[in-house]
Amino acid sequence: QVQLVESGGGLVQPGGSLRLSCAASGSISRVYAVGWYRQHPGKQREVVAAMPSGGTTNYADSVKGRFTISRDNAKNTVYLHMNSLKPGETAVYYCHAEISSDYVSRWYWGRGTQVTVSS
């Protein structure tokens, strides 16, 4: 059973920083593409950053230059470094990853971590 567990969310003041983590656990052969999404209350989930297994990392225009996605393959963990946070970025942040387990590759979601940007 593969699981993704996010952590690192919380309350931060406008202009502040947070680092989110997403750890994959279970019977994992390989983690391919990874990404971070967020969902504002009452709105659809939107992509924040996407890192394919090969190719260029992509960011939502609204976060370019402020957010950075990174990964530690040895730990099966992906990170989202968020700087200069804005109140409008209050949302639940989700990790999304394509993972090979028991010879089958599929996409998984974490349960999300709440980020609140407020003074």
Task: Please state whether 60 falls in left (phi above 0), alpha (psi between -120 and 50) or beta.
Answer: beta
Would you state the structure tokens that stand for residue 65, as one six-digit string? 């230059």
- What is the C-alpha separation between 84 and 19, in angstroms, rounded? 12
Instruction: Determine the pLDDT at residue 64.
Output: 98
Task: Kindly give the parts of the chain with pLDDT less than 70.
Answer: none
pLDDT digits (tens, 9 = 90+) for 28-62: 999 999 999 999 989 999 999 999 988 789 999 99
Instruction: Determine the pLDDT at residue 54.
Output: 80
